[in-house]
Amino acid sequence: MLAEHCRTIADRARQASYILTTVPTAAKNDWLLSCALSLSGNSSILEANRKDVAAAPGFGLNAAAIDRLTLTEKRLAAVAEMLRQVAALPDPVGEVLSGSTRPNGLHVLKVGVPLGVIFFLYESRPNVTADAAALCVKSGNAVILRGGKEAIHTNTALHRVFAEQLPKFDLPADAVQLVTDPDRDAVGHFLKLHDKIDLVIPRGGESLIRRVMSEATMPVLKHYRGNCHVYVDEHADLAMAERIVINAKCQRPGVCNAAESLLVHAAVAEQFLPKIAAALAAQGVEIRGCDATRRMVPVAQPASEDDYAAEFLNLIISVRVVPSIDAAAEHIRKYGSQHTEAIITRDLAAARRFTQTVDAAAVVVNASTRFNDGNELGLGAEIGISTDKFHARGPCGLRELTSYKYIITGDGHVRE
Amino acid sequence: MLAEHCRTIADRARQASYILTTVPTAAKNDWLLSCALSLSGNSSILEANRKDVAAAPGFGLNAAAIDRLTLTEKRLAAVAEMLRQVAALPDPVGEVLSGSTRPNGLHVLKVGVPLGVIFFLYESRPNVTADAAALCVKSGNAVILRGGKEAIHTNTALHRVFAEQLPKFDLPADAVQLVTDPDRDAVGHFLKLHDKIDLVIPRGGESLIRRVMSEATMPVLKHYRGNCHVYVDEHADLAMAERIVINAKCQRPGVCNAAESLLVHAAVAEQFLPKIAAALAAQGVEIRGCDATRRMVPVAQPASEDDYAAEFLNLIISVRVVPSIDAAAEHIRKYGSQHTEAIITRDLAAARRFTQTVDAAAVVVNASTRFNDGNELGLGAEIGISTDKFHARGPCGLRELTSYKYIITGDGHVRE
């Protein structure tokens, strides 16, 4: 029964995806602008959100989670602004990625096409509903949204706006569907439908992602963990290093591109560690260090293997003194999550070595890890940051939600 | 025991992959040229191949399969030539794919990087061993090769050449490993090692691919089926259509980009079908058609649903008369395999509609389906043709064996 229901939703999405392949860019953009207009100050959405916020303590949400769940007029305006930004981005569907005329006169174009149907699973922040709907439809994909039960009223109200506007611009009504069935089994049913769903994107905690990875029969685009390091090289500008470490750790400690670990070259450790420790302590950051660190920073707690591997998402940092840039790279290889890794150095050879050998979605020289973000890198809005190397890596915007096809045009060409 | 053995091989490949990330392009190219030199007229390889060919009937190989297994001096020279061609291709590692300076002055580069470790499973053609070794190493990946037992002596002799040449150019000895363990369980063990292996590429029959899809815990890049159609539009140049259909069906019927099905617009069916049927019959092709086809082509057998879905890889073609271009697209959507689909037309609007609505790795206008091939499209040698939409689609050459990273360079940049 539930399985049948899920299959029907997926079938509808598949049908919608066929139509979306060829809709004009202007229709998609007008839809986005119309949704933006309809969202601004929309009292029914704010009212629905108040229901969710009132029910939130019953779901065991803490104050930070309730804050993320809460929509205000200002936050709704920011969502509308995001829709306008997505409307302003170039359409990746039909984009000519490369092309050539072959020696035999055959014309070859490599052209962007939608992936098809995307199943998007996410937790409580309601703005993610809008991000996903906007990015998927603009990139020509039909999307099946499955948000958290804590945000169900808000998501339903948001979805109503997106769905109501679709037919006005001759877009298929099933381009954006919301699954509100509270049964967790629904997710399992969708994950089996590889003939209907081309991609699943889980966005949430580690247990959600692990479940999707083990059950999905279609490709998964996932943001797994962000255990990001800042390595302070022996040739670092130490004042710059201090500013960057404080920004990377403290500016927004709960996000994936915040720094979780500090590596310091032994040659500058005596000079740098007491200063940065004081600056971190002033921000309320707890330090867990190696033996060498603890000799120079008496307040530091001992760091365990688990601390080096941890994504704290909190005001805690692990610290280790390393003898060389290669030792830093080795540590990052062992404990890192291939998300964002930074080096602070004035030495070009050191920067070159680090950016070549460290394997991560973003490798940063003399800047905060916090810059690994779709907007900051110029991709526009993002649906997540991929920690995979397959298909898309790092911030995933419109282009990353597409595939391509070759269009080959001849004049009666046959192969000899 | 076997599990441990497989893990050791994968571990070695992982270590080699770290080194391969930073080796100079010249070392990889010199290695390829040196292998080419060593292969040409290599009598120990030819001798090993004679052993495999002698044993082939015992494995139940038919004449065509034995022919594919057989190496001659000429074929070995062609393998050497392929190595030289790969050496001449640009290195995708370190290639700057795009870049920008952000408004805040941050420099952002998107740079090609290897995927890491590739597990390549394939059936009996020995030249595939050389293709895989060359393409994987040139793209900076370590490769674990697992060929068919029918080619074990040839593969061992070929692998020896590749492995022996690696240290001469300071390339890691484990960049190319061959798994000769006859135990089929070895494959299962490798497919579990997602922490060591980044990608598995199965190249062979449907049962091999199905097994890999169900057991693999890492991404799979697969070439599944090629049920390719030629649609003859009402505005087709019928003489051109005849040349192209004959070429697409008959030039090499056993390959994935050969045509398996012919769709003809009703308006030209009376005129075209008897002619093409005679031309196909002259090439020994059996026709299985719809009722309308059979009225115009008395020799045609009735086509079943299975015939429309079949990848014959043989001198058989299914034929259907369709009332419109959209009906042709609908048929292709239902029965096709998203590999290669062709339209023959003089009408620009028809070509435009077909290339937009038909979803396949390659959509071809007025040319043979046989052109969907890495060399023909200008990618150089290919490791296979992907029928997936995720990561890479269509012919997979060097670029398709890579991922990318963002390199972000600032001057003390922090986020506000």
Write the pLDDT tens digit of every residue in B71-106: 999 999 999 999 999 999 999 999 999 999 999 999
* Amino acid at the residue B92: P
How many C-beta neighbours within 10 Å does residue B182 have? Answer: 8
Per-residue pLDDT of A279-336, as tens digits, reads 999 999 999 999 999 999 999 999 999 999 999 999 999 999 999 999 999 999 999 9
Task: Tell me which H or E stretch contains A40.
Answer: none
**What is the Cα–Cα distance from A165 to A173, expressed in whole angstroms?**
9
A101, A387, A413, A416, best to mutate vs chain B, most B CBs in 10 Å: A413
pLDDT for B297? 97
Residue B380's pLDDT band (boundaries 50, 70, 90)? confident
**Residue A1 pLDDT > 90:** no
* Partners of residue B334 in chain A, C-beta under 8 Å: none
**B394 touches A at CB < 8 Å:** yes
- In order, the DSSP letters of B152-169 are HHHHHHHHHHHHHHTGGG
Q: Within an 8 Å CB–CB cutoff, is residue B378 touching chain A?
A: yes
Q: Do B243 and A412 touch (CB under 8 A)?
A: yes
Q: Closest partner residue to A240 among B247, B355, B412, by Cβ? A: B412
DSSP helix/strand/coil, B179: coil
CA distance B19 to chain A (A): 9
* 3-state helix/strand/coil string of A271-315: HHHHHHHHHHHHCCCEEEECHHHHHHCCCCEECCHHHHHCCCCCC
**Interface size between A and B, measured as CB pairs under 8 A:** 196
Three-state SS for A340-358 is EEEEECCCHHHHHHHHHHC
The structure tokens listed for A369 are 């890890």
Q: Which of A355, A361, A371 sits opposite B415 (nearest CB)?
A: A371
pLDDT band at A157 (very low <50, low <70, confident <90, very high): very high
Per-residue pLDDT tens over the stretch B30-54? 999 999 999 998 999 999 999 999 9
Three-state SS for A54?
helix
Q: Is the dihedral of CA B121, B222, A408, B94 positive or negative?
A: negative
Residue A240 CA to residue B11 CA, distance in Å, equals 39
Res A327: pLDDT: 98
Q: Closest Cα of chain A to B368: distance in Å?
A: 5
In percent, how much of chain A has pLDDT > 70? Answer: 100
| Residue among B367, B391, B405 whose CB faces A106 most closely | B367
Phi-psi category of B200—alpha, beta or left, where left has phi over 0 and alpha has psi -120 to 50?
Answer: beta
pLDDT band, very low/low/confident/very high, at B1 (cuts 50, 70, 90) = confident
Across the range B360-370, mean pLDDT stands at 98
* pLDDT score at B184: 81
- Cα(B207)–Cα(B224) distance, rounded to whole angstroms? 10
Tracing tokens 């936050």 back to the chain, one arrives at A75
Domain boundaries, chain A: 2-222+391-409, 228-376
The DSSP secondary-structure symbol of B242 reads H
Q: How buried is residue B77: exposed, middle or buried, by Cβ count under 10 Å (0-12/13-18/19+)? A: middle
Instruction: Name the 3-class secondary structure at B171.
Output: coil
d(CA B229, CA B329): 10
> Domain A2-222+391-409 is classified in which CATH homologous superfamily?
Aldehyde Dehydrogenase; Chain A, domain 1 (3.40.605.10)
Q: Output the pLDDT for position A216.
A: 93
**B252 min Cα distance to partner chain A (Å):** 10
CA-based nearest residue to B65, from B52, B74, B76: B52
Contact residues, B window 101-130, toward A, CB-based 8 Å cutoff: 102, 106, 108, 113, 115-116
- For residue A317, the surrounding DSSP H or E stretch is strand A316-322
What is the pLDDT averaged over residues B221-238? 95
Token pair listed for A357: 């050998």
The beta-carbon neighbor of A408 closest among B362, B393, B407 is B362
pLDDT above 90 (res B125): no
Distance, in angstroms, between B362 CA and closest chain A CA? 5
Locate B344 and state its tokens: 């023959």
Backbone angles phi, psi at B366, to 5 degrees: 55, 40
- Residue A21: CB partners within 8 Å, gap ≥ 6? A93, A113, A114, A140, B356, B357, B359
Distance of CA B59 to the CA centre of its chain: 25
| Structure-block tokens of residue B366 | 């007025």
As given in the structure block, the two tokens for residue A66 are 């309730």
B25: contact with A, CB 8 A cutoff? no
B301-302 β-sheet, strand order: A96-101, A107-114, A402-413, B362-367, B340-344, B228-232, B259-265, B316-322, B286-289, B301-302
Between residues 28 and 87 of chain A, which touch chain B (CB distance below 8 Å)? Answer: none
Q: What is the mean pLDDT of chain A?
A: 96
Give the per-residue pLDDT at A279: 98
Q: How far is B17 from chain A (nearest CA, A)?
A: 11
B353: which residues sit within 8 A by CB, 6+ positions away?
B325, B326, B329
B371 touches chain A (CB under 8 A): yes
What's the first-to-final CA gap in chain A, in angstroms?
55
Lowest-pLDDT range of A239-243, B57-61, B131-135, B164-168:
B57-61
Range with lowest mean pLDDT among A28-32, B138-142, B231-235, B251-255: B251-255
Q: How far is A153 from chain B (nearest CA, A)?
A: 33
Sign of CA dihedral B402, B405, B406, B410: negative
What whole-number distance in Å separates Cα of residue A405 and Cα of residue B359?
8
Q: What is the identity of the amino acid at B249?
A: K
CB contact under 8 A, A407 and B365: yes
Q: Considering chain B, what is the average pLDDT of its residues?
A: 96
Q: Tens of pLDDT along A223-232?
A: 888 999 999 9
DSSP code for A103: T
Quick one: pLDDT band at residue A198, thresholds 50, 70, 90? very high
Name the minimum distance, in Å, from the CA of B249 to any CA of chain A: 11
Instruction: Give contacts of B 241-280 with A, CB under 8 A.
Output: 243-244, 246-248, 251
Neighbours of A416 (CB within 10 A): 6
- Cα A146 to chain centroid distance, Å, stands at 17
Q: Which residue has the tokens 């058609």?
A: B289
B334 to chain A, any CB pair closer than 8 A? The answer is no
The amino acid occupying position A274 is P
3-state SS class at A139: coil
Better-predicted residue by pLDDT, B7 or B204: B7
Q: Other C-beta atoms within 10 Å of B273: how many?
A: 24
Question: Which residues, 6+ apart, have CB-to-CB distance to A193 below 8 Å?
Answer: A6, A7, A10, A217, A218
Place of tokens 């963002």: B406
Q: Is the minimum CB–CB distance between A367 and chain B shorter than 8 Å?
A: yes
Give the contacts of B377 (CB within 8 A, at least 6 positions apart).
A102, A108, A406, A408, B362, B371, B394, B395
Q: What is the mean pLDDT of residues A183-191?
A: 92
Q: Are strands B107-114 and B402-413 parallel, antiparallel or unpaired?
A: antiparallel
Contact between A412 and B370 using a beta-carbon 8 Å cutoff: no
Closest Cα to residue B390, out of B257, B224, B278?
B224
Are B408 and A113 a contacting pair at CB < 8 A? no
> Which among A115, A246, A409 has the least Cβ separation from residue B366?
A409
Name the residue of chain B whose CA is nearest to A108's CA: B377
- The answer to whether A100 faces chain B, any CB pair under 8 Å, is yes
Task: Tell me what pLDDT residue A73 has.
Answer: 95
The mean pLDDT of A57-71, rounded to a whole number, is 91
Task: For strands B316-322 and A96-101, give the pairing.
Answer: unpaired
Contact yes or no for A251 and B414 at CB 8 A:
yes
For range B390-405, the mean pLDDT: 97
Task: Name which of B137, B155, B132, B161 is nearest B38 in CA terms.
Answer: B161
How many other C-beta atoms lie within 10 A of the C-beta of residue B295?
14
* Mean pLDDT (whole number) for A355-370: 97
**Section B157-181 average pLDDT:** 96
| Distance between CA atoms of residues A80 and A337, nearest Å | 33
Say yes or no: domain B228-376 is CATH 2.30.22.10. no
Residue type, B395: P
Residue A42 has pLDDT above 80, yes or no: yes
Q: What is the pLDDT of residue B182?
A: 77
Asked if B414's CB is within 8 angstroms of A405's CB, the reply is no
CA pair distance A220, A202, nearest whole angstrom: 8
Nearest by CB to B359, from A100, A113, A377: name it: A113
Cα–Cα distance list, B124 to A33, A296, B146 (Å): 56, 62, 10
Q: Hey, are the CB atoms on B405 and A360 less than 8 Å from each other? A: yes
Work out the pLDDT band at B223, boundaries 50, 70, 90. confident
Q: By the CB < 8 Å criterion, does B366 face chain A?
A: yes
Contact A18 B333 (CB under 8 A): yes
In this prediction, residue A184 carries a pLDDT of 82
Written as one string, the DSSP assignment of A234-265 is TT--HHHHHHHHHHHHHSSTTSTTSEEEEEEE
pLDDT tens by residue, A250-289: 999 989 999 999 999 999 999 999 999 999 999 999 999 9
* A contact test, residue of B330, B388, B414, B416 with most A CBs within 10 A: B414
Closest CB from A198, A357, A377 relative to B108: A377
Question: Is the model's pTM score more than 0.90?
Answer: yes
Inter-chain contact A22–B106, Cβ cutoff 8 Å?
A: no
- Contact state of B364 with A411 under an 8 Å Cβ cutoff: no
* Domains B2-222+391-409 and B228-376 alike in fold: no
A413: which chain B residues are within 8 Å (Cβ-Cβ)? 244, 366-368, 371
Sheet of strand B142-146: strand arrangement = B176-178, B142-146, B117-122, B199-203
In sequence order, what are the residues at sequence separation of 6 or more whose Cβ sits closer than 8 angstroms to the Cβ of residue A214? none
- Beta partners for B383? none
Cα–Cα dist A142/A13, whole Å: 6
Scanning the structure block, which residue is given the tokens 């393998």? B79
> Which residues lie closer than 8 Å to A192 by C-beta, 6 or more apart?
A215, A217
Establish if B355 touches chain A: CB-CB under 8 angstroms.
Answer: yes
SS3 assignment, position A78: helix
pLDDT reported for residue B267: 98
